[in-house]
Chain A
């Protein structure tokens, strides 16, 4: 996995002058607090949908994720944050077995989905990916029409009859807040859309499969702030219906959209908790340094 080495925005704000030394800016801490507080109280506990137990993932002999134990709650947004190369994308891609396409990946520990072992014998990875959809860092619509982009998955999996497809496409596009922008050009190429629209098309495509979990691998890192905002609003709306796990480099984003946050460094889970708590009252020093922008 190639991780982008984009500097989080607040770090740019923080760095002053040409000497590269960072100024202590307590307002950053306040910033996080404001964002998190505006979200209201702590999330209500729901059922655990995915649970990793002492999960270690290696590329050949090299471990990328070490001994991670954490839950993912149903209908909540879980953010995974951490510096580049900390294994957060690897962890995410392990949740729907997308790592299997990389040679030499092996794992220890358990990954449970509603109590069932995702990597157990007899589990079909194709069915896993149907239930646990994924949105990628770079928008990757198929080089087909907007309609086909969305209709393909359900048709493939026999989720909808041919005559129901237009309805399903409309529903999915509406869920992804894209319908009004594309309803007149459903048969034009999905690649003719702007980056943000493409990403929402990819989300619509995933939503059309009626998954239970949607994994998002830095879905906004290739987008401008306005499109990012649109996607974040969308994530907010989607969590009523779906469980979302999002990997992000942008800490404000994690603070804004997520209910739970996992912070990883060098493949290890440093801290996991409610976003509120992780960003305002982190238990570990390392977490505090990261979320306030002093490290990472």
Chain B
């Protein structure tokens, strides 16, 4: 039997298909390019901040009197070198310490070794400040380990000292403490209210015109400029209910600001929980709350926490509303309660950037880095909670 001659089919791409492929390629290139623009910008920004701050700390390390003190205590070779190049420095230091000790001893005050070392350090500091050439003459040549050691104390100083008009003495203790207070109170107000509102709107509220109206307006509120919330906070919390320029007023204002973000994120997360889970729970004789508590919330929790992370990050970084409600820019104390005055990290950073001295700008870079680390720590707590929560969900 003859096999019928078959025509070989054309399965190569025609002009139309080629055009479609070209379009698909072009689109993927555009998307990839967009991603890379974002990545590059982020890298540039971060590396700028990191270079500025670490470079500044690095340059301070060599000139820091503590480095000289440390070397004097640990390196006999360095002592010999100093005696040779700046003989007056060591003897002057000893003399100063001795005289201080004597004067105080007359008044019956015993000096500890640490206090004595402090006096020596002060002397060293003042001498070095007087005579710029001294540093060059001293030629500390610190080892890497010593650099890290003194660099660490400098960073510790920035974190643990109050603001100052000298950039090398300024720190952001009060701002860090203020931010911590603010973020804790904001979380206390905003998370329960936001999540509860989301649960109500998604699970309980009837789907009618009123709930749609509320929905639209919450979405709008998320886009309102933060300064407007600042004005509202000033009028209502600071003046209206006389909270003053307190942590509490700040936290309430910040809560208002981030509530829409939390509500929207939590609603989306709750909406994403398959309805079949709810139906299954109801069919087993569960009440609405039991269904929500045992099935909807655990499944929605990762999504809710993602929203919370975003919202809290925003709260930590917002400056305008805090300036509006009168958070102070120079605070030389740590707030001890919700009714105390306070300042926050971004305000402190803003102040430093606004200073004319270059050194303050570099200090601001350090502040930004510390703010970012604060943010990362805060978020890692939320991520930890999220991982824990996901362990109970077995998809």
Contact call B393/A126, Cβ cutoff below 8 A: no
Residues of B within 8 A of A202 (CB): 280
Within 8 Å by CB of B283, from A96, A188, A190, lies A96
Residues of A within 8 A of B395 (CB): 143, 189, 191
Measured in the bound complex, the distance between the Cα atoms of B261 and A19 in whole Å is 58
Measured in the bound complex, the distance between the Cα atoms of B207 and A138 in whole Å is 26
- B286 adjacent to chain A (CB < 8 Å): yes
Which B282-308 residues have C-beta < 8 A from chain A?
A: 282-287, 290, 294-295, 299
Residues of A within 8 A of B290 (CB): 156
A-B interface contact total, Cβ < 8 Å:
74
A contacts with B, residue count (CB < 8 A) = 32
Q: Which residue of B has the minimal Cβ distance to A100?
A: B282
Which A103-141 residues have C-beta < 8 A from chain B?
A: 103, 126-127, 129-130, 133-136, 138, 140-141
Q: Which residue of A has the minimal Cβ distance to B207?
A: A103
Measured in the bound complex, the distance between the Cα atoms of B273 and A140 in whole Å is 12
Interface size bucket, B side?
20 to 34
Measured in the bound complex, the distance between the Cα atoms of B333 and A257 in whole Å is 79
Contact call B280/A140, Cβ cutoff below 8 A: yes
Q: Which residue of A has the minimal Cβ distance to B287?
A: A126
- A98 adjacent to chain B (CB < 8 Å): yes
- A209 adjacent to chain B (CB < 8 Å): yes
CB of A227, distance to nearest CB on chain B (Å): 18
- A157 adjacent to chain B (CB < 8 Å): yes
Within 8 Å by CB of B280, from A130, A142, A145, lies A142
Which B246-291 residues have C-beta < 8 A from chain A?
A: 274, 276-287, 290
CB of B379, distance to nearest CB on chain A (Å): 25
Q: Which residue of B has the minimal Cβ distance to A125?
A: B282
Q: Which residue of B has the minimal Cβ distance to A215?
A: B283
0 or 1 for each of B352-395: is its CB under 8 Å from A? (1 = yes): 00000000000000000000000000000000000000001111
Residues of A within 8 A of B392 (CB): 144
- B337 adjacent to chain A (CB < 8 Å): no
CB of B234, distance to nearest CB on chain A (Å): 42
CB of B30, distance to nearest CB on chain A (Å): 38
0 or 1 for each of A133-167: is its CB under 8 Å from B? (1 = yes): 11110101111110000001100110000000000
Q: Which residue of A has the minimal Cβ distance to B392?
A: A144
Within 8 Å by CB of A153, from B284, B287, B299, B394, lies B284
5 contacts between A and B (CB under 8 A): A101-B279, A140-B280, A141-B280, A142-B277, A189-B394
Q: Which residues of B come within 8 Å of A, CB atoms?
A: 206-207, 274, 276-287, 290, 294-295, 299, 392-395
Given contacts A142-B281, A144-B394, A209-B285, 6 further A-B contacts (CB under 8 A): A126-B287, A135-B283, A138-B276, A143-B393, A143-B395, A153-B285
6 pairs of A and B residues whose beta carbons are closest in the complex: A189-B394, A130-B285, A140-B276, A153-B284, A134-B283, A140-B280
